[in-house]
Structure 1
Amino acid sequence: MQRMIALVLIAMLLIPFAGCLGENDSDNASGTITVEAVWTEIPIETKSQYYSDGADTPWELSSEPFTEQIQDAGGIVVGLALVLDYPNEDETPNLGFCTGLESDAPDTIFGTITKNDWTLTASEVNPGSHAVNLTWHNQSLLDAKNISGMSENGIRNQIDLGNEALGTYDFSVRVDADAYEGTGCTHTDNGEEVSTAVSLLVLDLELIGGGETNALSVGDGAVSIVLFLPWFIGMFLLVGYLVSKKERYHLGIILEDDSDVDSEGASSGEEGRTLVESYRARVLTLCALYVAQGIPWGFITVTFVTYLAVEGVAAGQLAFLLTLGTLPWSVKFLWGPIIDRYQFPEMGKRRPWILIAQSGMIVVLSSMLLIPDMSSNVTLVGIMFLVYNIFTALQDVSTDALAVDVLEPHEFEKVNSYMFTSKAVGGIIGGAGLGTIIGFVGIKGAIVMQIPILVVIMLVPLFMTERPGEKLYPWSESSKQKTSDTIEKQKNFKEIFDNIKIAFSFRSAQLGILLSLIISLSYFLIPILPLLFVRELGWTEEQFNATKGGVILIVTMLGYMAGGQLGKQYGGKAIIIYSAFSTALITAFWGMNESLWSNGFFMMTVWSLQTFVWAMVSINIYSLMMRITWTEVGGTQFTGYMAMMNLSAIIGYQLTAPLAARFDYSTLFYIAALLETVVILGAMFIDPEETRREMVKRLSD
């Protein structure tokens, strides 16, 4: 059985590597793209008006009444044309010796067009005419005709600005009148009659060649919900059967133990300053480190992915980036034996590894600022994020091991909830926070802002020690004495791997691997959601970032808290099964109501509900994994489960490109709902008590 699991894990580990390489080759093979465009001018106003000398006369027009004409002409508004006509020069002679043969002085007529941050002014003198043509597209792409080295979406994104090019336009005309002045004769000129004609400049764009899938929309293959109904009905019947056999399938077992600790015992150890002595120091350090883990997660999955989607990066490339960013988390369990084996006890068992990891994070993040154009160097950015997340995963493993080392038994549940909440706070900073201000500071500005945050967080473990007598720095003096007991506690690799082998010899522990591998398969929707919200539904990048990185993360935290309380009251496995099925129903309902997607309230409500209920699934699966973990190798075994969950996310991301290329949005939601119900199959046979029960037997023999 163990050999089979090992082979399965090796095969699963090879899947993301193969997917990454394949996706990379595909994205770079865009070839030459031929750009063909048909121009159309849509008249939206013609008028004639007298403009007084020296006065700016503004007015505004809207594209809304011409929506149908714009769509018929190709749908891409790239500019405005303002034509000013002033064929006369009218001056009135004043009293004096004027003969009527004097030459009139020409007036200067100014025309201005403004749209958002774009503005253009042009002027000429009368009599005559001139045009003001304001455009905001990259004309050089149209002039070049044949373009190499750019994707279709990159080209389209520099020509089609979508909703930003629509709406209200501002115009103004000003006449600076001049009049004849001669000896004994002067003229008066108070203004000029000017005719204006305004037109919208619209393109019908066609991109030919390149061999790249257009990322502006997903596929058009539709599968009716009717074909999915047998599966959902079957899962409904299965849930009903499990409820009727609650004791057999361990649905009533409470996954979190309540420790009977009196207040005096709980508050003991507050006199010292080290982590083992001070509860406050433990909470501060662990929570700060989890904030540091949440920031890059929120930045990558929310801010950076949305930025690239807006810049025209294909869905497959977004999945490639997420894959590389998640990969180190999927194999982070490999760090467990290493940090257990190689230690520097004078500075603490875990603290040196944490400081190494944080230093690496800061260096790599700073190096990313040297990349000139991130949207056109997705592969290089992905590699940088891979290295960055190697250090982040190292910090995660070291922090979990530190928590196991320094937390008191009665503190695990409470402090663990603080840690996960802190990670969500970090996600809000990296997602909603940086995502909201990216429009002002740019993508590199968002990266720069992360660096001082990480430096400040690094100060926490830098000035904390794990145990009394340890050094703050390698050159500091230490009062800690090396004893034979200390040396005996150092484990070699053989002892570590023997314990791991025992831990995974139990059936429930092996099923825990399976459950961890399937929990995040529905994550293929993550790279698709920004395409749906931003490109299809017209949300701005800032709106989407603020929602996913702010509101949705807050909802996730609320789901964690609610799920934990319900799990303690009704049984964690029961909440996993009920919530997984409920989430699937919500996701399917989301896909069935495409006609309501343009309603922002509906989208926010259904997205929040889906997130809230799935968070209840996740937090109880975490508790279930803790329950089936042997405390002797708790750090390594639990880290292994978490790594498999991240590997599950990678597999989900790898499903994005093939599924998105074939199916429409509704069908993708149905598929995600089906995958969410698979969690029920993974959890139903796990016995939460097996590990403890079997270990008691082994130790008593």
Structure 2
Amino acid sequence: MKQAATAGIQPGRATLPALSENRTARFAAIIVLYFLQGVPLGLSLIALPAWLAEAGATPLEVGAFVGFALLPWSTKLFNGLVMDRYAFRPMGRRRGWILLSQALMVAALIVMAVIAPGAGDIALLSALCFALNLCATFNDVAVDGMAVDIVPEKERTAINSFMFASQSFGVAVCSILAGQTLVSYGIATTALLLTALVAFASLFVSVFRERPGERLLPWSMGQASRECEERQHDAWWPILSGVLRSVFVPRTLLFLFATGCGCAYLAFADAVNPTLAVQQLGWSSERYANFGALLNITAAGFGLFIPILLERVFGLRRSILGQFAALVLLAVIAAISHPFWLGDMPFIALSAAMFITSITLVISAIVWAMRICNPAIAASQFALFMAIPNLSRSIMSGNSGWLVEGAGYGAAYLAVAGIACLGLVVAWLARVGDYTQLPQGVQ
């Protein structure tokens, strides 16, 4: 009784279990939060690009929209540094940031509904989606940091699998909902529907404390936990210097370059597939949104077991190099066969094969990124490792329109093959996945 009063919780008052002490609550909250990250991604990568393509937007315009909308995902190092340095400690190290980012996502969607830009307002749509994705990146980094803090080692493999699958499922659900409502009711209704989805799920997450005795809300009773006080940094330089020292190693820099190259087809799918499907193959934007949703769900299913199976059979190094090689081969086949496509099946089959290969390659690269992180600064360092491929994906998406309009879709497929081939060579030189060649200081 004395302990409850000291922690700021009124005696005799029932409370839900804290995330740090209850496995079911941990998994439920993290799965819901990753599902919500799929809302801005599904809207920005699938539903809106298809809607714009159906309205007559050029490949250059669609590529520029996707590239700018995705840009916040390359700022995750900044987010991680800020969160490692600052926190509202009575609510835990990460939970205050999570609730703030969720509230800002709701606000961004409400603003989108009020302004209700049309398909011709591409610059305004880009700005609104940029803001929405910026909120989502703060959520992403905060949830990752919370998982590092409170998820036991024995649960991390499982929780990472559920994170990836939940985000993919969120992308799929958002793609279907937005794809249908954009055509039938317009962007205002679409934004309000997504606002309700985010708000409802956020309320569920808000009822769980990070650790026992902390505040549920900023104005409620509670105090900072011992773990929060011990782990929260009070200065910038130890965090920043540690990240810089660990990253500026030649083998690590080569690995980051290779992971950026591994996103070549994902950038193609983001920015080129919408116009290829809608304007060349005659699909409706709703059909493309449904296809994108199915593709994400399928990739999530494969991602849950294929990387694990490949690593067990071939080892991580051969698995990564083999997936790079498979992506090169598939892209070359697509480039050569594109002029002779009859119907939709070649596009569907090749898109599915390359998307799934790219996703499993990214997951395998993440395994290596986690392995080479310095545990003392893992949150900020891992945020940087994830920011580099996101920046690469954004840049390639933003510039894909120039290539398509200047040289055609076949040349874009060849570009994917060339970039993936470069990634293969660099990953081989950096000995990515070789556990006998870990960077200095990593155990």
1:460 aligns with 2:183: no
Contact 1:332 1:397 in 2 (8 A): yes
In the other structure, the counterpart of 1:287 is 31
Deviation at 1:419, TM superposition (A): 0.3
Mark the structure with the bigger radius of gyration: 1
What pairs up with 1:346-425 in 2 under 5 angstroms? 346-425=90-169
Whole-angstrom distance in 2 between the partners of 1:485 and 1:326: 32
Whole-angstrom distance in 1 between the partners of 2:357 and 2:252: 25
1:655 aligns with 2:399: yes
Partner-residue secondary structure (3-state), 2:87: coil
In the other structure, the counterpart of 2:321 is 577
What 5-or-longer segments of structure 1 have no aligned partner?
Answer: 1-270
Whole-angstrom distance in 1 between the partners of 2:440 and 2:76: 27
What pairs up with 1:512-661 in 2 under 5 angstroms? 512-522=255-265, 523-524=267-268, 526-548=270-292, 550-561=293-304, 562-594=306-338, 596-661=340-405
Contact 2:320 2:365 in 1 (8 A): yes
Could you give the per-residue CA deviations for residues 108-161 of structure 1, whole angstroms, max 9, x where no partner exists? Answer: xxxxxxxxxxxxxxxxxxxxxxxxxxxxxxxxxxxxxxxxxxxxxxxxxxxxxx
Could you give the per-residue CA deviations for residues 580-617 of structure 1, whole angstroms, max 9, x where no partner exists? Answer: 11122122212222355332233322221222222221
Deviation at 1:645, TM superposition (A): 0.9
In the other structure, the counterpart of 1:296 is 40
Whole-angstrom distance in 1 between the partners of 2:263 and 2:377: 25
What pairs up with 1:56-455 in 2 under 5 angstroms? 273-455=17-199
In the other structure, the counterpart of 2:236 is 493
Partner-residue secondary structure (3-state), 1:375: coil
Whole-angstrom distance in 1 between the partners of 2:301 and 2:150: 27
In the other structure, the counterpart of 2:441 is 695
**Range with bigger deviation, 402-411 or 492-501:** 492-501
Whole-angstrom distance in 1 between the partners of 2:184 and 2:318: 47
Could you give the per-residue CA deviations for residues 352-379 of structure 1, whole angstroms, max 9, x where no partner exists? Answer: 0011111111111110123354212211
Whole-angstrom distance in 2 between the partners of 1:634 and 1:324: 28
Deviation at 1:696, TM superposition (A): 6.4
Whole-angstrom distance in 2 between the partners of 1:325 and 1:625: 25
The structure with the largest strand share of the pair is 1
Contact 2:58 2:275 in 1 (8 A): no
* Residue correspondences, number: 425
Deviation at 1:483, TM superposition (A): 6.8
Deviation at 1:653, TM superposition (A): 1.5
Could you give the per-residue CA deviations for residues 186-234 of structure 1, whole angstroms, max 9, x where no partner exists? Answer: xxxxxxxxxxxxxxxxxxxxxxxxxxxxxxxxxxxxxxxxxxxxxxxxx
Deviation at 1:513, TM superposition (A): 2.4
Partner-residue secondary structure (3-state), 2:208: coil
Whole-angstrom distance in 1 between the partners of 2:116 and 2:225: 51
Contact 1:596 1:602 in 2 (8 A): no
What pairs up with 1:31-70 in 2 under 5 angstroms? none
The structure with the largest helix share of the pair is 2
Which of residues 667, 670, 681 in structure 1 aligns to 2:411? 667
Whole-angstrom distance in 2 between the partners of 1:372 and 1:466: 37
Deviation at 1:525, TM superposition (A): 5.1
Whole-angstrom distance in 2 between the partners of 1:687 and 1:643: 18
Letter of the structure 2 residue corresponding to residue 583 of structure 1: L
- With the length of structure 2 as denominator, give the TM-score of the two structures: 0.90
Deviation at 1:557, TM superposition (A): 1.2
Identity across aligned pairs (percent)?
23
Contact 2:404 2:411 in 1 (8 A): no
In the other structure, the counterpart of 1:502 is 245
Letter of the structure 1 residue corresponding to residue 373 of structure 2: T
Partner-residue secondary structure (3-state), 2:186: helix
In the other structure, the counterpart of 1:686 is 431
Could you give the per-residue CA deviations for residues 499-555 of structure 1, whole angstroms, max 9, x where no partner exists? Answer: 21332244432223222332223424532222221112112222211112x221122
Partner-residue secondary structure (3-state), 2:297: helix
Whole-angstrom distance in 2 between the partners of 1:489 and 1:417: 27
Structure 1 492/509 Cα, relative in aligned 2: closer, same or farther at 3 Å?
A: same
Could you give the per-residue CA deviations for residues 60-83 of structure 1, whole angstroms, max 9, x where no partner exists? Answer: xxxxxxxxxxxxxxxxxxxxxxxx
Deviation at 1:285, TM superposition (A): 1.0
Structure 1 648/379 Cα, relative in aligned 2: closer, same or farther at 3 Å?
A: same
In the other structure, the counterpart of 2:12 is none
Whole-angstrom distance in 2 between the partners of 1:372 and 1:467: 41
Could you give the per-residue CA deviations for residues 433-487 of structure 1, whole angstroms, max 9, x where no partner exists? Answer: 3213433222322222100110012113311111111010122122x47779936
Could you give the per-residue CA deviations for residues 616-650 of structure 1, whole angstroms, max 9, x where no partner exists? Answer: 21110111111111121111111111111110011
Deviation at 1:381, TM superposition (A): 1.6
Whole-angstrom distance in 2 between the partners of 1:598 and 1:438: 29
Whole-angstrom distance in 2 between the partners of 1:370 and 1:276: 39
- Tell me the C-alpha RMSD between the 2 structures: 2.3
Structure 1 368/429 Cα, relative in aligned 2: closer, same or farther at 3 Å?
A: same
Whole-angstrom distance in 2 between the partners of 1:485 and 1:576: 37
Larger relative contact order (Cα-Cα within 8 Å, sequence gap ≥ 6): 2
Which of residues 420, 432, 442 in structure 2 aligns to 1:676? 420
Structure 1 274/485 Cα, relative in aligned 2: closer, same or farther at 3 Å?
A: closer
Contact 1:579 1:617 in 2 (8 A): yes
**Range with bigger deviation, 493-502 or 309-318:** 493-502
Partner-residue secondary structure (3-state), 1:468: coil
- With the length of structure 1 as denominator, give the TM-score of the two structures: 0.58
**Range with bigger deviation, 412-421 or 309-318:** 309-318
Deviation at 1:418, TM superposition (A): 0.2
Partner-residue secondary structure (3-state), 2:441: helix
**Range with bigger deviation, 355-364 or 614-623:** 614-623
Contact 2:30 2:163 in 1 (8 A): yes
Could you give the per-residue CA deviations for residues 656-686 of structure 1, whole angstroms, max 9, x where no partner exists? Answer: 1321121122222122222222221231123
Could you give the per-residue CA deviations for residues 543-575 of structure 1, whole angstroms, max 9, x where no partner exists? Answer: 211112x22112211331212321233212211
Whole-angstrom distance in 1 between the partners of 2:224 and 2:277: 61
In the other structure, the counterpart of 2:4 is none
Could you give the per-residue CA deviations for residues 373-394 of structure 1, whole angstroms, max 9, x where no partner exists? Answer: 4212211221122222211111
Contact 2:64 2:401 in 1 (8 A): no
Whole-angstrom distance in 1 between the partners of 2:178 and 2:61: 22
